[in-house]
Structure 1
Amino acid sequence: MDKWTLALETFLKDWKDRGDVVGALVCGSYVTGYPSKRSNIDIHIILADHVE
Structure 2
Amino acid sequence: MAVPKKRISKSKKNSRKSQWKRKALRQAQKALSLAKAVFSGKAQGFLYPKSID
Q: TM-score, normalised by structure 1?
A: 0.31
When normalised by structure 2's length, the TM-score is 0.30
Higher relative contact order (CA closer than 8 Å, sequence separation 6+): 1
